[in-house]
């Protein structure tokens, strides 16, 4: 097989880094030369330049998705390479076949995909099926070797720990949904946990009844994370073959973006999702940011589990470092990730002040941390807040210029606090370097090696 495929180039269109790595390794082991595209636009450009022997096409991608890719390829003149469409969402596969995909295979990537690809490239004819019986997704209520029992039991336990049904929502989870909704400028944001028979909205904003409402699982538009175990983005439900006549449209929703929430033992618990009544663009940077916030959601849940089971070792949890347990804001790791992603998003839209980003660091007496964080939450509603040290917090503010952010912070917290700001609309690497420089200045002042830093130093220009 390796010799037969030695010169054959496969174009892999897949925006998920981990999934792309897995698929690439499988294909390269069979001797294919693999070129990867991270979105549909890049895939179309590479398809025209490379003239690949075959294309493996993820259907859910930011910008131009797999369906639009198939439409464009169908209208291009001349011979076309065979296309295998892949998706974790079963409902997408028949539409991909209708739009011209030679095969439609359900994720995760497996040997079946490699075998079908080899057959297509050797001139074989696909079996015409989208799924074999063995690949069929179990219906609600069916059990596969106890997997659903374990998954739903884990979701029920978390639901009991964090409340949301008949009780006040967890403050950290509710704060995350409100901030996420504002940062992405969407109508609503939900955190849902999916049990065997219901979808419970444990925190959220912008959706009637949230938080504290549950709906039957089989009609929920927010339970797709359980079926797909992967991110799902619907730019416009009216144009989407699966969502056009779904409950989502009956709710007036046209945009949906959701990422799964996974337990520390690997079971999908539910989702963190965004929604809007208007179509939306959603880039790979947006998806990365939403994924980081989802890890903060999981980190918060894990801290609640740790409180309920104090004897469990820290090593049995995966995302504790994302959240600071004392202040219930982002921890160091979570803050750094959010800073990088918001900075990259801001740098991508340099002329739009509403997308601009500022990083602010405040240092104070340790006993003032809790009231200062409470104040920062109020004065910076479109921001993410994190703990950067024993007596230090950071804020990534969206849509507020650096000097205005500094004045707001100083006016609100005053006292003995030192506040430094830097423009973070400069790309991830420069933003992290600016943060480190600010922290070094504060460290020097704290240790008495340097005079107190100027609270409004000049912002270094981007090179």
Cβ proximity of 318 and 264 under 8 Å: yes
Same domain, 183 and 276: yes
Same domain, 120 and 38: yes
Same domain, 214 and 288: yes
**What is the chain's mean pLDDT, rounded?**
82
Residue 350 predicted with pLDDT over 90: no
Q: Which are the contacts of 110, defined by CB distance < 8 A and separation ≥ 6? A: none
Q: Among the three residues 135, 156, 173, which one is the final residue of a domain in this structure? A: 135
Amino acid 164: pLDDT = 62
> pLDDT tens, 291-344?
999 999 999 999 999 998 899 898 889 899 999 999 999 999 999 999 999 999
Residue 134 predicted with pLDDT over 80: no
Q: Which are the contacts of 179, defined by CB distance < 8 A and separation ≥ 6? A: 381, 382, 383, 384
Same domain, 357 and 305: no
Other CB atoms within a 10 A radius of the CB of residue 325 amount to 17
CATH code: domain of residue 101: 3.40.50.2300
Report phi then psi at 331, rounded to 5.
-85, -175
Q: Which are the contacts of 158, defined by CB distance < 8 A and separation ≥ 6? A: 193, 263, 269, 301, 304, 305
Same domain, 407 and 308: no
Same domain, 383 and 430: yes
Amino acid 450: pLDDT = 46
Residue 189 predicted with pLDDT over 80: yes
- In this prediction the pTM is 0.73
Specify which of 103-112, 134-143, 193-202 reaches the highest per-range mean pLDDT: 193-202
In the structure encoding, which two tokens stand for residue 355, read together?
């997308």
Confirm whether 334 is domain-assigned. no
Amino acid 457: pLDDT = 44
Distance separating the N- and C-terminal Cα atoms of the chain: 50
Confirm whether 249 is domain-assigned. yes
Amino acid 456: pLDDT = 46
Residue 3 predicted with pLDDT over 70: no
In the structure encoding, which two tokens stand for residue 277, read together?
């009544």
Cβ proximity of 45 and 88 under 8 Å: no
Same domain, 274 and 408: no
Amino acid 31: pLDDT = 84
Share of the chain above pLDDT 70, in %: 83
Amino acid 7: pLDDT = 63
Distance, CA of 335 to CA of 331 (rounded, Å): 6
Q: Which has the closest alpha carbon to 53: 83, 23, 22?
A: 83
> pLDDT tens, 421-458?
999 999 999 999 999 999 988 887 766 654 455 544 44
Distance, CA of 114 to CA of 58 (rounded, Å): 15
Cβ proximity of 217 and 196 under 8 Å: yes
Cβ proximity of 64 and 39 under 8 Å: yes
> pLDDT tens, 101-131?
998 988 878 777 888 888 877 754 444 444 4
Q: Kindly report the length of the chain.
A: 463
Same domain, 160 and 131: no
Domain span at residue 427 reads: 349-446
- Within the chain, what is the greatest distance between any pair of CA atoms? 76
Confirm whether 409 is domain-assigned. yes
Torsion of CA 419, 338, 435, 455, to 10 degrees: -20
Residue 379 predicted with pLDDT over 60: yes
Give the CA count within 13 Å in the CB-facing half-sphere of 76.
Answer: 16
> pLDDT tens, 199-231?
888 999 988 777 878 777 776 666 666 665 677
Distance, CA of 182 to CA of 396 (rounded, Å): 13
Same domain, 284 and 373: no
SS3 231: coil
Distance, CA of 377 to CA of 363 (rounded, Å): 16
Banded pLDDT at 247 (limits 50, 70, 90): low
Looking at the structure of the chain, the number of domains it has is 3
């Amino acid at each position: 097989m390796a010799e037969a495929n030695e010169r054959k180039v496969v174009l892999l269109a897949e925006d998920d880094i981990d999934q792309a790595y897995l698929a690439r390794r499988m294909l390269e082991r069979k001797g294919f030369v693999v070129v990867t595209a991270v979105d549909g636009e890049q895939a179309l450009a590479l398809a025209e330049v490379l003239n690949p022997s075959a294309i493996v096409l993820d259907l859910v991608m930011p910008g131009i998705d797999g369906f639009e890719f198939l439409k464009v390829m169908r209208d291009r003149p001349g011979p076309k390479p065979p296309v295998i469409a892949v998706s974790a969402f079963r409902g997408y596969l028949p539409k991909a076949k209708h739009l011209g995909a030679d095969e439609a295979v359900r994720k995760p990537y497996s040997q079946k995909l490699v075998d079908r690809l080899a057959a297509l490239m050797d001139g074989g004819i696909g079996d015409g099926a989208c799924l074999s019986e063995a690949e069929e997704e179990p219906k609600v209520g069916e059990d596969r070797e106890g997997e659903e029992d374990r998954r739903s039991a884990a979701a029920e336990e978390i639901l009991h720990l964090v409340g949301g049904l008949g009780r006040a929502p967890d403050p950290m989870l509710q704060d995350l949904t409100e901030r996420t909704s504002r940062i992405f400028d969407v109508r609503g944001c939900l955190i849902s946990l999916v049990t065997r028979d219901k979808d419970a909205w444990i925190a959220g904003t912008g959706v009637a009844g949230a938080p504290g409402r549950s709906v039957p699982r089989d009609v929920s538009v927010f339970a797709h994370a359980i079926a797909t175990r992967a991110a799902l983005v619907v730019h416009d439900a009216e144009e989407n073959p699966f969502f056009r006549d779904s409950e989502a449209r009956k709710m007036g929703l046209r945009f949906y973006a959701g990422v799964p929430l996974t337990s520390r033992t690997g079971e999908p618990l539910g989702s963190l999702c965004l929604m809007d009544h208007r179509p939306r663009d959603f880039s790979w940077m947006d998806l990365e940011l939403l994924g980081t916030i989802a890890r903060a959601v999981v980190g918060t849940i894990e801290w609640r589990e740790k409180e309920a089971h104090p004897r469990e070792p820290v090593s049995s949890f995966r995302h504790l470092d994302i959240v600071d347990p004392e202040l219930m804001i982002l921890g160091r790791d979570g803050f750094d990730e959010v800073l990088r992603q918001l900075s990259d998003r801001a740098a991508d839209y340099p002329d739009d002040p509403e997308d601009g980003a500022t990083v602010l660091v405040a240092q104070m007496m340790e006993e003032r941390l809790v009231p200062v964080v409470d104040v920062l939450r109020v004065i910076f509603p479109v921001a993410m807040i994190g703990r950067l040290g024993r007596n230090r917090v950071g804020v990534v503010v969206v849509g507020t210029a650096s000097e205005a952010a500094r004045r707001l912070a100083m006016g609100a917290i005053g006292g003995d606090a030192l506040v430094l700001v830097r423009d973070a609309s400069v790309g991830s690497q420069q933003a992290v370097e600016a943060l480190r420089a600010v922290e070094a200045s504060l460290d020097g002042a704290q240790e008495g090696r340097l005079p107190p830093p100027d609270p409004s130093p000049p912002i270094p220009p981007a090179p």
